[in-house]
């Protein structure tokens, strides 16, 4: 009976996260402590519960992409096992470290197609492109214009 109540509570917690304006992946990257804590806890539990989905997904993808299919499936099975371990470890780290301020965990990809796909955190500043401020780059003459390469 206790296991049923605990399991029901965990599922209610996981599925209640989808009712939020942000998803658990965005919440886990938030600089606000309350959102980060709830997001990391939800993301960690979600990764731990669903980590075994990587094995069949990677096995099927390996069989589709490689010829002969049996060798692709074997390679996909190995990749799925590695992704399962990675996703489970990430989930355990997220749950265990959710209370630490400023720690945003070790996120894996949302997609089960490729667990190693990198993504930028939601709070990272965007890259700024700097222009040269040398006089040669900023000066214009009557015959030379900055817009000479623009198609008219």
Domain ranges in the chain are 2-115
Token pair 């489970």: residue = 88
Token pair 């109540």: residue = 5
**pLDDT tens column, 97-116:** 888 888 888 878 888 787 77
**pLDDT tens column, 9-44:** 766 666 555 555 677 788 888 888 888 888 889 989
Least confident among 1-5, 31-35, 52-56: 1-5
User: Which CA distances in Å does 102 have to 8, 31, 55, 141?
Assistant: 30, 7, 32, 52
**Greatest distance between any 2 Cα atoms in the chain:** 86
Cα–Cα dist 43/109, whole Å: 11
Cα–Cα dist 82/51, whole Å: 10
């Amino acid at each position: 009976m206790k296991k049923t109540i605990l399991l029901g509570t965990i599922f209610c917690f996981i599925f209640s996260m989808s009712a939020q304006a942000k998803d658990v992946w965005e919440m886990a990257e938030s600089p606000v402590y309350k959102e980060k804590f709830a997001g990391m806890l939800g993301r960690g539990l979600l990764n731990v519960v669903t980590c075994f989905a990587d094995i069949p997904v990677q096995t099927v993808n390996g069989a589709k992409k490689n010829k002969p299919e049996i060798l692709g499936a074997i390679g996909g099975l190995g990749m799925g096992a590695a992704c399962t371990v990675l996703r489970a470890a990430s989930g355990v780290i997220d749950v265990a470290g959710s209370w630490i301020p400023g720690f945003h965990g070790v996120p894996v990809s949302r997609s089960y197609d490729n667990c190693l796909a990198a993504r930028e955190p939601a709070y990272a500043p965007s890259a700024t492109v700097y222009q040269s401020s040398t006089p040669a780059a900023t000066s214009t003459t009557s015959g030379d214009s900055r817009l000479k390469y623009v198609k008219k």
